[in-house]
């Protein structure tokens, strides 16, 4: 199952996503600023976090972005401003 907005095509996390998520999202205080999670401070912790995320996603609909080539922006490489814009796109309409 996937989910799409104007700028994102989302999918569930895979083990291979840990490094990009750690480097570009989980380790960045500016990415965590408005979120309900704390930054991850080591590669070992990031791998464990990804394993927990994948286990949780077994029974829940939470997704990380994997874009088609040259068409969508990769959340794992996004700047904090872009993450905020994309987050707003994922919010349900009132």
CA distance 21 to 49: 10
Quick one: average pLDDT of 20-33?
A: 89
User: 83: number of CA atoms within 13 Å, CB side?
Assistant: 19
Q: Give me 1's structure tokens.
A: 């199952």
Quick one: average pLDDT of 18-25?
A: 90
pLDDT at 16 exceeding the cut of 60: yes
Closest CA to 46 of 68, 74, 21, 64: 21
Quick one: average pLDDT of 7-20?
A: 82
- At 9, give phi and psi (nearest 5°): -125, 120
Q: What percent of the chain has pLDDT over 70?
A: 55
- pLDDT tens-digit series, residues 43-72: 999 999 999 989 988 887 665 554 444 444
The pLDDT, as a whole number, for residue 66 is 47
What is the average pLDDT score of the chain?
74
The pLDDT, as a whole number, for residue 81 is 47
Q: Are 54 and 14 in contact (CB under 8 A)?
A: yes
What is the model's pTM? Answer: 0.60
């Amino acid at each position: 199952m996937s989910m799409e907005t104007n700028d994102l095509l989302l999918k569930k996390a895979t083990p291979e996503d840990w490094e990009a998520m750690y480097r570009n999202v989980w380790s960045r205080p500016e990415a965590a600023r408005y979120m309900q999670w704390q930054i991850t401070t080591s590669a070992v912790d990031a791998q464990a976090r990804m394993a927990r995320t994948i286990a949780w996603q077994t029974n829940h609909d939470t997704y990380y972005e994997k874009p088609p080539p040259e068409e969508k922006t990769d959340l794992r490489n996004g700047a904090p401003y872009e993450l905020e814009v994309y987050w707003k796109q994922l919010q349900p309409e009132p």
